[in-house]
Amino acid sequence: MGDVNELILSKAGSNVDLIPEIAKHLISSGGKRLRPMLTLACSDMFGYDGKGHVTLAASVEFMHTATLLHDDVVDESDMRRGKLAARKLWGNQASVLVGDYLLGQAFKMMVDVGSLEALRILASASAVIAEGEVLQLGAAKNITTTESDYLRVIEAKTAALFAAAAEVGPVIAGQPEKMKQAARGYGMELGYAFQLVDDALDYGGSTADLGKDIGDD
């Protein structure tokens, strides 16, 4: 994880001063780093011997960071990780554009690893996350939203990236399809569980404990 964090900070740089300023505001605020940990753990578990897992883990975290920047704009959130949200300090436009930059950097890192299958998995997850954001817009404040509608939203918004983060481990380790699907299934269930707990805390937690506004989810 030390190597991952170093890579994250180096790839967040840019000749455009505002980009690293906004990116590092969020990145340096902490975060659990669960998704990159999942990539590292699954790579190690399946016997991967190389450095590509570090690069993929950093790209996964960049994807997640980009979604947080975008989410705060969509949800009109004021707090993130115990600090003012980037949109409150630099505005919505800058937050969205820096999120886009981080997504671009994530895809560049995926290409550097040289695994077309890992690139396909993470690129697909990126598209699914965007679909989830649109699904959420339709479900927001809609009291007729069903349980299945809700599960579609959290699968797309959260579980899909957990699943992809886990699956790329056995992919770069050259494991058979059965192992890839096992890792993906584990990541998917972990993502569901994570978002269910996060949403429950959104109703029963506090801004001081969670470091973000409650009631937005």
- CA separation (Å) from 187 to 134, 167, 193? 22, 8, 10
pLDDT in tens, 84-135: 888 888 899 999 999 999 999 999 999 999 999 999 999 999 999 999 988 8
With 0-12 CB in 10 A as exposed, 13-18 as middle and 19+ as buried, what is 128? middle
Q: Where residue 203 falls among pLDDT bands split at 50, 70, 90?
A: confident
Question: What rounded mean pLDDT belongs to the chain?
Answer: 91
Instruction: Tokens for 29, please give them.
Output: 């605020």
Residue 216 within any structural domain of the chain: no
Best CA proximity match to 85, nearest among 216, 171, 212? 212
Q: Print the domain residue range for 20.
A: 2-208
One-letter amino acid at 202 equals D
| pLDDT above 80 for 82 | no
Residue 215 within any structural domain of the chain: no
pLDDT in tens, 36-62: 999 999 999 999 999 999 999 999 999
Number of domains forming the structure of the chain: 1
Residue 214 within any structural domain of the chain: no
Best CA proximity match to 46, nearest among 177, 159, 161? 177
Residue 69 within any structural domain of the chain: yes
* pLDDT at site 75: 78
Residue 148 within any structural domain of the chain: yes
Domain harbouring 146, CATH code: 1.10.600.10
pTM of the model: 0.91
Residue 213 within any structural domain of the chain: no
* pLDDT at site 216: 66
Max Cα–Cα distance, the chain, nearest Å: 50
Residue 71 within any structural domain of the chain: yes
